[in-house]
Amino acid sequence: MTAGAHASINRTARLAGGLYLAMMPFAFFGILYVPSVLLVRGDAAITSRNILASEWLFRSGTVSHLIGQIIFIFLVLALYRLLKPVNKDHAVLMVVLAVLGIPIVFLNEVNHLAALRLLSSAADGAFTSTQLQSQAMLFLEMRQSGILVAQVFWGLWLLPLGLLIFRSGFLPNLLGILLVIGGAGYLIDSGTQLLFPGLATISQFTFVGELVFPLWLLIKGVNVERWQRVTLA
């Protein structure tokens, strides 16, 4: 294998690792941080006041989440190039499952903006403040439900990804196992939260593979000789 090809595949691996890590803070900010600061469960009045007092923070949560999804598109394409030699069908399945969740997220953010639009229209006089706050809370709850639906695909795409890594030979098997566990955690959380809201989640403990995997790609890259053997095979 030429030195240029050697460098090229490791550039792809490090690009994928960098994109994975870059996506995380945007997702964390939009999905977890902003709701934790502004939303008060069961209290529409306080939640509404928080949103109106921090409108920029509220809007930035939507923008951050969408930026994370755009990064996700390029991440999946980089992983496809890296893992396609292992099994093209599984790599295509990985891409399809990953991409299916993206339009759900984009459409779901309309619920987020709709809540702000309702609270901003209090001066219109068509509804009382209490009515507007209740409607806004409904849209915010719909957004949270939409995230749970998208989370199904966040879990599903990790399953073929983990399998590809496990079978690759040029990445540690343990990384594949950890990603499959992470995908299962998302699926379990999504199912239990949709059926039994309020139950404890497990994905906060099973996501370790999603942190270790990009760090490995960024720091270690792949075993290029083994990647070449898989490609030629």
User: Which of helix, strand or coil describes residue 223?
Assistant: coil
**Range with the poorest average pLDDT among 23-37, 146-160, 188-202:** 188-202
Q: How many domains does the chain have?
A: 1
Long-range contacts of 124-130 (CB under 8 A, 24+ apart): 129/48, 130/44, 130/45
> For the chain, what is the radius of gyration of the CA atoms?
21
The reported pLDDT for the residue numbered 143 is 94
Q: Around Cβ 151, how many Cβ atoms within 10 Å?
A: 23
**Residue 159 dihedral angles phi and psi, to the nearest 5°:** -70, -55
Nearest alpha-carbon partner for 178 in 213, 216, 210, 209: 209
pTM of the predicted model as reported, rounded to 2 decimal places: 0.91
- The answer to whether 47 touches 40, Cβ cutoff 8 Å, is yes
Confidence band (pLDDT; 50, 70, 90) for 102?
A: very high
**Range with the poorest average pLDDT among 127-131, 148-152, 200-204:** 127-131
What is the tens place of the pLDDT at every residue in 77-100? Answer: 999 999 999 999 999 999 999 999
Which residues have C-beta within 8 Å of that of residue 36, sequence separation ≥ 6?
none
Nearest alpha-carbon partner for 118 in 48, 56, 64: 48
The reported pLDDT for the residue numbered 229 is 87
The reported pLDDT for the residue numbered 5 is 54
212 has pLDDT over 90 = yes
Structural domain of residue 20, as residue ranges? Answer: 3-232
